[in-house]
Amino acid sequence: MEKKHIYLFCSAGMSTSLLVSKMRAQAEKYEVPVIIEAFPETLAGEKGPAADVVLLGPQNCLYVARNSAFVTQQTCGSD
């Protein structure tokens, strides 16, 4: 099975790097074939199109429109 790419984009990177570590640990634990990476939001336009899943930090919801060229389905919020 081909690995899926999950990319997280945020401003500072502190909380995202912690989340990536936890996501990787769970993916390994359950043998989920994924590649999970974090990038600054400024690279979303460059890296985002290659991802199967794009996650934006909550402070970056205002950038969804800017990155809509590669976003096919979007949800913004933490309901």
User: Pick the catalytic residue: 8, 10, 36, 51?
Assistant: 10
- 74 token code pair: 């979007």
Encoded amino acid at 36, one letter: I
74 C-beta neighbours (distance < 10 Å), count: 12
Is 10 catalytic? The answer is: yes
Contacts with 46 (C-beta within 8 Å, 6 or more apart), sequence order: none
The residues assigned a catalytic role are 10
